[in-house]
Amino acid sequence: MQNRYAIEQLIEAGVWISQKGWVPATGGNFSARTDSGFVVTASGYDKGQLAPEHFLQFDCHGQIESGTGKPSAETELHLSIYQLVADATCVLHTHSVAATVLSRFIKSDTLTITGYEMQKSLTGILSHEETLQIAIFDNDQDIEQLAEKVALRYQRNPLYHGVLIRGHGLYAWGRTPSETRRHLEGLEFLFACELERIKLEATL
């Protein structure tokens, strides 16, 4: 993607995601792969009111090429996803209540979901009978170390659609910005359903 188009897509996504309530208090960060590397949101800006000057351009090795402002602390994780997932062109990181709470409630390193028709919103999932597995990683303020953990797990078992960071939120990706938005919305719906199911079962 050209820089201008990538930024336009992320600004549009930011408005939509903000309206969903998934990026409170300037949280979250978005990126898109470009012809020379990737663009990513600078830190500290309301994701529902992004402008072109709120983005930084990085090369494919993670070095800043242009832009002002403080790079998102999680830029290294975006870079790692692009290096691992060859066809990923967009990464959207959100902080929804469902993703954050569910990632803490599940004690294992994988959230397993099955039985929902909405699973088919995710590329490659053809039936509600399939089992969707979303990797969960413990939160770490050392983003380089967190990125290494994601990379090591990907090498053992490729990751699809997105990952959860415990007590933090969701990183979703796709082959295009529109597919990434679909994956994000589908996963958020599934997380909300699972959270409600767990609460209901606790009352039985």
Residue pLDDT, tens place only, 143-170:
999 999 999 999 999 999 999 999 999 9
Q: What are the distances in angstroms from CA 90 to CA 14, 30, 73, 130, 183?
A: 13, 8, 17, 25, 11
DSSP letter assigned to residue 143: H
pLDDT digits (tens, 9 = 90+) for 36-60: 999 999 999 999 999 999 999 999 8
Q: What is the torsion angle, in degrees rounded to the nearest 10, for the CA atoms of residue 31, residue 34, residue 38 and residue 43?
A: -50
pLDDT digits (tens, 9 = 90+) for 14-31: 999 999 999 999 999 999
Residue 26 is encoded by which pair of tokens?
A: 């300037």
The C-alpha atoms of residue 168 and residue 136 are separated, in whole angstroms, by 10
Q: Is 54 known as a binding-site position?
A: no
The C-alpha atoms of residue 133 and residue 156 are separated, in whole angstroms, by 14
Q: For residues 167-196, give the mean pLDDT.
A: 97
Q: Is 161 known as a binding-site position?
A: no
In the block, residue with structure tokens 């402008």: 51
In the block, residue with structure tokens 């993703």: 99
Residue 123 sits at φ, ψ, to 5 deg, of -55, 130
- Give 115's contacts (C-beta < 8 A, 6+ positions apart): 128, 129
List for the chain the helix, strand, coil content (%; round to 5). 45, 25, 35
- Percent of the chain surpassing pLDDT 90: 90
* Residue 72 reports pLDDT greater than 90: no
**Predicted local confidence at residue 71, as pLDDT:** 83
* Residue 77 reports pLDDT greater than 90: yes
pTM listed for this prediction: 0.96
**Predicted local confidence at residue 1, as pLDDT:** 83
End-to-end Cα spacing for the chain: 51
pLDDT digits (tens, 9 = 90+) for 97-128: 999 999 999 999 999 999 999 999 999 999 99
Q: Provide CATH code, domain 3-203.
A: 3.40.225.10
Q: For residues 1-7, give the mean pLDDT.
A: 92
